[in-house]
């Protein structure tokens, strides 16, 4: 069997294949970490990422890269992906909800898990742009539900656009759960779709407090459209595996960071 070449002797094409393998297995790569591992400069590593992004094989973000956006996936399928991780995050997130509050819940599979985990008989009002969230709560006791109208984007799983924004601006909520594409301690919350990002910003502006729920791959990353600065986020719910450095970066900005509890085996 041929030996694998030392990382310092790798050709750029070999490094790029290793980067893609890491993206598939970890969901995110950090340029500085890979540069040290491959014994190359960060400039060389960033050039690799630029070339991969130009081929549509990854999506560059601040400090590294994320997997390329996949084609629109049915919401039912997204719900089934990493269901245990989303449930752990949801259980921690709903612990922040108080009796009688008005909640704004954005579309998305993680937010659907949050809605499902909400306790009954707390006099909660839920405002959402997601038909699946409204339907799931409709079948349970003790919720008042307001479904925002507008054009349904099947990729997003909820209503977006001018009509949705107009209806949302008539709302005042206690707590909102905007879907998170990326969140960085220095620059704030980010999204990839301009129309959806406008809606998320309006949700934050309409709420007294904002709760961002983020998997590890979204921490320390940026996307295309900045939604709000980090000081607009009051609570950040992260996975148990989130590093101390990642958590400390947010607490230094006054964000209250909550770690999800491990799931029962």
pLDDT at 69 over 60: no
Higher pLDDT, 113 or 69: 113
82/56 same-domain check = no
Same domain, 39 and 111: no
- List, in order, residues 6 or more apart from 17 with CB less than 8 Å away: none
In this structure, the answer to whether residues 90 and 187 fall within a common structural domain is yes
The answer to whether residue 2 is domain-embedded is no
- What CATH number did the domain enclosing 235 receive? 3.40.50.1360
- 84 and 50 assigned to the same domain: no
Q: Which of 66, 85, 102 is the last residue of a domain?
A: 66
- Residue labelled with tokens 């629109």: 72
Q: Is residue 166 part of a domain?
A: yes
Angle (nearest 5°) at CA 97 between 93 and 99: 160
Does 71 score more than 60 pLDDT?
no
Whether pLDDT at 1 is above 50: no
Q: Is residue 265 part of a domain?
A: no
If asked whether residues 27 and 126 sit together in one domain, one would say: no
- The pLDDT confidence band at residue 73, using thresholds 50, 70 and 90, is low
Q: Is the pLDDT of residue 72 over 60?
A: no
What 3-state class would DSSP assign to 47? helix
Mean pLDDT of 256-263: 91
Residues 11 and 124 in one domain: no
Q: If you average pLDDT over residues 110-138, what whole number do you get?
A: 95
Report the pLDDT value the prediction gives residue 95, as an integer from 0 to 100: 97
Look at residue 7 and tell me whether its pLDDT is greater than 70.
Answer: no
Sorted by sequence, the CB contacts under 8 Å of residue 262 that are 6+ apart come out as 88, 240
Average pLDDT over residues 172-198: 91
pLDDT confidence tier of residue 123, bands split at 50, 70 and 90 = very high
The pair of structure tokens assigned to 170 is 């008539």
Distances (CA, A) of 35 to 15, 19, 47, 238: 10, 11, 11, 27
The answer to the question of residue 52 being in a domain is yes
Check residue 218 and report its DSSP letter.
G
Over residues 8-40, the pLDDT tens digits come to 567 888 999 999 888 877 778 888 899 999 999
Between CA 75 and CA 44 the distance in angstroms is: 38
Do residues 112 and 175 both lie within one domain?
yes
Convert 34-69 to b/e letters by CB count within 10 Å (16 or more is b): bbeebebeeeebbebbeebeeeebbbbbebbbbbee
Note whether 230 and 195 are within 8 A (CB). no
**Domain final position from 27, 42, 66:** 66
Q: Is the pLDDT assigned to residue 45 strictly greater than 50?
A: yes
Range of the domain at 36: 7-66
The answer as to whether 1 is a domain residue is: no
Q: What is the structure's pLDDT at 5?
A: 47
> Are residues 138 and 175 both part of a single domain?
yes
Whole-number pLDDT of residue 63:
77
- The count of structural domains within the chain is 2
Residue 9 to residue 15: CA distance in whole angstroms: 10
Answer positive or negative: Cα dihedral of 75, 81, 85, 87: positive
Domain CATH number, residue 12: 1.10.10.10
Evaluate if residue 161 carries a pLDDT over 60: yes
Q: Name the percent of the chain lying above pLDDT 90.
A: 56
The mean of the pLDDT values for the chain is 87
**Residue 128 included in any domain:** yes
User: How many whole angstroms separate alpha carbon 220 and alpha carbon 188?
Assistant: 9
Of the three residues 66, 87, 103, the one that is the final residue of a domain is 66
Residues 32 and 136 in one domain: no
Q: Taking a C-beta distance cutoff of 8 angstroms, is the pair 234, 256 a contact?
A: yes
């Amino acid at each position: 069997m041929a030996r694998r070449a030392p990382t310092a002797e790798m050709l750029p094409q070999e490094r790029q294949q290793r980067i893609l393998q890491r993206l598939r297995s970890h969901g995110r790569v950090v340029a500085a970490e890979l540069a040290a591992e491959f014994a190359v400069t960060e400039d060389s590593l960033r050039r690799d990422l630029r070339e991969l992004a130009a081929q549509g094989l990854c999506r560059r973000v601040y400090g590294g890269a994320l997997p390329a956006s996949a084609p629109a996936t049915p919401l039912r399928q997204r719900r089934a992906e990493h269901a245990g991780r989303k449930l752990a995050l949801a259980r921690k997130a709903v612990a922040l909800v108080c009796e009688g509050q008005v909640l704004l819940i954005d579309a998305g599979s993680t937010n659907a898990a949050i809605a499902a985990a909400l306790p009954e008989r707390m006099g909660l009002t839920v405002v959402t742009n997601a038909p699946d969230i409204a339907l799931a709560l409709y079948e349970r006791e003790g919720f008042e539900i307001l479904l925002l109208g507008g054009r349904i984007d099947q990729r997003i799983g909820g209503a977006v656009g001018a009509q949705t924004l107009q209806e949302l601006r008539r709302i005042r909520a206690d707590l909102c759960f905007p879907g998170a594409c990326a969140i960085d301690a220095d620059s704030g919350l980010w999204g990839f779709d301009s129309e959806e990002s406008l809606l998320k910003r309006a949700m934050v502006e309409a709420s007294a407090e904002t709760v961002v729920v983020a998997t590890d791959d979204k921490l320390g990353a940026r996307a295309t459209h900045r939604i709000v600065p980090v000081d607009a986020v009051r609570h950040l719910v992260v996975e148990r595996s989130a590093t101390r450095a990642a958590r400390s970066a947010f607490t230094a900005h006054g964000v209250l960071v909550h770690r999800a509890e491990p799931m029962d085996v």
